[in-house]
Amino acid sequence: MLPEQNSAKRNLRSGLNLIFAQNPVLVTGFALAPAVVGTFTLKNGTGLSLVFAMVTIPVLFLASLLGMLPEKVPQFVRTMACVGLAALMLIPARLLARGIAPNLFDSLGMYFSSMALNSVWLLRAPLCQEKKPIWALWEGVCHTIGFSVCVLAVSAVRELLAYNTLWGHPLSLPAKFPAIAYAFAGFIAVGTAAAVLRWSIDRAHDVAGLVQRKRKKWRVGR
């Protein structure tokens, strides 16, 4: 029972690390462009999250399966297979996301196509070739959660400030700042969120270190 508990704790720590400490937008900046350009309404943020999930998770899973092939299969063949799957997944992703955010693709422009080559899977796919498929799926899910947490939070704040709405429903706020919907404000919003996340991670490390020191003192005192 104890090994299973330790394994679950390691999985949880690994997942939280991918979601927060290695957030694909706020920390590593792998998916920065679409998060800046398309996150001016909550519907857009939801659509972006859906597209990211439908591209990243299947590609990382495929990368793990390709890692089981004989070593004589060239790396460029494995990479091209991942690129092909990512491009194909954009088709159903667009159809599904269009039902949520009809204006998403007009606002993203060329950045929508770049979702097929987002830096998250480009950098993580070679590493996933050395992992089991279930671990690759877990990593894809965690990266998706990290991306979604960021874009949904930024989208909600920008929509509230720019349009005084949330999910298209009007709210009675005292002021409106339409400029928040522009791309330059997206950089400011994402940068602010990154600073807040970095501060929160540092404080969490401080608290964890303090708790660990207290435990050591308590054990020595016994």
* pLDDT tens digit sequence for 147-197: 999 999 999 999 999 999 999 999 988 889 999 999 899 999 999 999 999
Q: Measured in whole angstroms, how far is the alpha carbon of residue 4 from the centre of its chain?
A: 28
Q: What is the C-alpha to C-alpha distance for residues 220 and 213, in angstroms, rounded to an integer? A: 11
C-alpha distance from residue 170 to each of 47, 86, 159, 167 (Å): 20, 36, 10, 9
Model pLDDT, residue 44: 95
Alpha-carbon span 37 to 186, nearest angstrom? 7
pLDDT above 90 coverage of the chain, percent: 58
The strand ranges marked E within the chain are 165-166, 169-170
- Yes or no: say if 63 and 137 are a contact pair by the CB < 8 Å rule: no
pTM across the whole model: 0.90
Dump pLDDT digits (tens) for 203-215. 988 998 888 888 8
- Residue that is written with structure tokens 């964890």 in the block: 208
Of 10-14, 15-19, 43-47, 52-56, the poorest mean pLDDT is in 10-14
Q: Check residue 222 and give its pLDDT.
A: 60
Please name every residue paired with 169 in a beta bridge, in sequence order, or none if there are none.
166
Binning pLDDT at 50, 70 and 90, where does residue 219 land? confident
CA distance 195 to 208: 20
Which two tokens mark 192?
Answer: 């602010």
Q: Give the model confidence (pLDDT) of 102-120 as tens digits.
A: 988 888 888 888 888 888 8
pLDDT of 3 reads: 57
Burial of 75 (0-12, 13-18, 19+ CB in 10 A): exposed
Q: What share of the chain is helix, strand, coil (3-state, %, to 5)?
A: 80, 0, 20
| 168 close to 161: Cβ distance less than 8 angstroms | no
Residue whose structure tokens are 């001016």: 40
Q: Write down the pLDDT at residue 217.
A: 75
With pLDDT > 70 as the criterion, what percentage of the chain qualifies? 95
Average pLDDT for residues 32-43, to the nearest whole number? 90
Q: What sign for the dihedral angle of Cα 108, 109, 110, 116?
A: positive
The confidence score (pLDDT) of residue 112 equals: 87
- Say if residue 136's pLDDT is above 90: yes
Position 1 pLDDT exceeds 60: no
Q: What is the mean pLDDT of residues 73-80?
A: 92
What are 92's two structure tokens?
């159903």
pLDDT one-digit tens code per residue, 83-109: 999 999 999 999 999 999 998 888 888
Predicted pLDDT of residue 30: 82
pLDDT computed for residue 143 by the predictor: 94
Q: How far apart are CA 155 and CA 104, in angstroms?
A: 12
